[in-house]
Amino acid sequence: MATTSPTVRTGSALPRWARNLALTLLILYIVLLVGPIAGLDAPRIWQSIAAEPKTLVQVALVGLANGSIIAIIALGYTLVYGIIELINFAHADVFMLTAFMSLTVLGAIGVDQKSSSGQIFVGVLVALVVAVLFGALLNASIERLAYRRLRNAPRLAPLISAIGVSFILQNLGLFWGGLRIIFPVMGVNAAAPKTFPQLLPEGILFQDGPIIFRQKDLIIILASVAFMIALRLFVQYTRLGKAMRATAQNRDAAKIMGINVDTVIAFTFLLGGGLAGVAGLLVGLYNGTIVFNMGLTAGLRAFTAAVLGGIGNITGAMLGGFLIGLLAAFSDVYFSSRWTNAWVFAILVVILIFRPLGLLGEAGGEKA
């Protein structure tokens, strides 16, 4: 063995902390230098915040509402990753299809803005149940058909399979969008964004200058937080939740303890798909439009959120979701909306490089 070990590097007289500090300062300087091209123009941002501080509050509110939806999608990634260490690439497209399902159901029931609030409530409830069931079953069947056989294959095989499933689902969404003969709500063009009925109450709860807080913002945030807390309690205290955690920690040991690992994994996919269903309905209701290729960006944002919070960690996914929502809203207003996705993905890259465990992740075995 003639070559030297890669960890032994000589030639630098500086202590480690000084080198790190210098490197950090250098990177910061470069960001300040080049950042303005991508909208990160610190003096300008500071000026606009100082001129109208209330806008910042509004940005934060928008960020929280969007972030709560991102968080729900992120939970789907984090649950599955936590249990079989697979980035379920198809998750975002399950979410997209559930949005189509919600729209289809709402269209079939026939509720729109003009319906009475009782009708709207029932309609949305039915759409929620159908979307959740649909997402859950879809996700679980994907696991059964495309992932289960690859559980002991090389790591990349299920990931590639997941990418394939994602494309298949996207195409299904495109096809679904073209079925206007069966679902008139789909509109004329298959690929065009679909208009979602505006069913959430738009009443203003609070207004102060540019700050507007509507009922629908509150509903979205409350609904997502409720689902997240329910999930947290479920995983923490129920028998099945404990089985999930056990399987995540050590599959073989769980098996020895009498846990049916296949069932637990299938259930995890059911749960993730159901959450995707919740997110699909909420996105449609909140944003008002859905489109067949919205999965990729939404999925990347949600995955970033999951990684930021510490993948496999439920609280982390929620935290990450809110942070990414805030960042995106901030970038839309103060940087440049054209660069928002680049900033979000840049965060993903930076987090993965410097702290792959995420904010709340714990160093556990081979996880990073």
Partner 1 sequence: MSPAVRTGISAGLLAVVVVLLFGNLSGVVLGLLAGAGAAILLDSRVEWPNRNAAIVGGATAGAVAGLLILVGQFIHDLFLMPLAGQPVATAPGSTLQAGLIAVVLAALAGAAVGAIVTQAERPRQLGLLGLLVAFVILFPFLDQQIQLGWTPTVISVLIYVVLALGLNIVVGYAGLLDLGYAAFFAIGAYTTGLLLSPQIGINWDHPLSFWLVIWIAAAVAGLFGLILGAPTLPLRGDYLAIVTLGFGEIVPIVFRNLTRVEIKEPFTGTCLIGCDKAINLTGGEAGINPISHPWLPLVGQFRTGQDLPWYFLIVAIIALTIFLISRLRNSRLGRAWTAMREDELAASSMGIDIVRTKLLAFAMGATFSGFGGAFFASYISAIFPGVFDFSVSVIILCMVILGGLGNITGVILGGLIIMMSDRLFLPQLATLVKNILNTSVLPTIADPAMKDFVATSVDPSQFRLLLFGLTLVIMMLVRPEGLIPNVRRRAEFHEAEAGAEATVATEAKAPAK
Q: With binding defined as CB under 8 A, does residue 187 bind partner 1?
A: no
Residues 5-64 that bind partner 1 (CB under 8 A): 6, 29, 32-34, 36-38, 42
199 touches 125 (CB < 8 A): no
174 touches 190 (CB < 8 A): yes
Residue 85-114 contact track with partner 1, rule CB under 8 A, x = bound: xxx---------------------------
Distance in Å, CB of 298 to partner 1, minimum = 13
Stretch that binds partner 1, among 48-56, 67-75, 153-161, 241-249 (CB under 8 A): 153-161
Candidates 19, 44, 54, 338: give the one binding partner 1 (CB under 8 A).
338
| Residue whose tokens read 């901030």 | 330
Rounded CA separation 11/161 (Å): 46
| Residue whose tokens read 């098996």 | 255
157: phi then psi, degrees, rounded to nearest 5: -60, -50
Rounded CA separation 273/134 (Å): 8
Stretch that binds partner 1, among 95-103, 194-202, 269-277, 336-344 (CB under 8 A): 336-344
Rounded CA separation 76/87 (Å): 10
Q: With binding defined as CB under 8 A, does residue 341 bind partner 1?
A: yes
Rounded CA separation 176/101 (Å): 9
Q: With binding defined as CB under 8 A, does residue 261 bind partner 1?
A: no
Give the nearer residue to partner 1 in terms of CB position, either 30 or 125.
Answer: 30
C-alpha pair distances (Å), 88 with each of 246, 269, 293? 20, 10, 17
Candidates 178, 193, 201, 288: give the one binding partner 1 (CB under 8 A).
178
DSSP state of 10: -
Give the nearer residue to partner 1 in terms of CB position, either 133 or 146.
Answer: 146
Half-sphere exposure of 259 (CA within 13 A, CB side): 24
Residues lying near partner 1 in the complex (CB under 8 A): 1-3, 6, 29, 32-34, 36-38, 42, 85-87, 146, 149-150, 152-161, 163-172, 174-175, 178-181, 190, 296, 300, 303-304, 307, 336, 338-339, 341-342, 345-346, 348-349, 352-353, 356, 366, 368
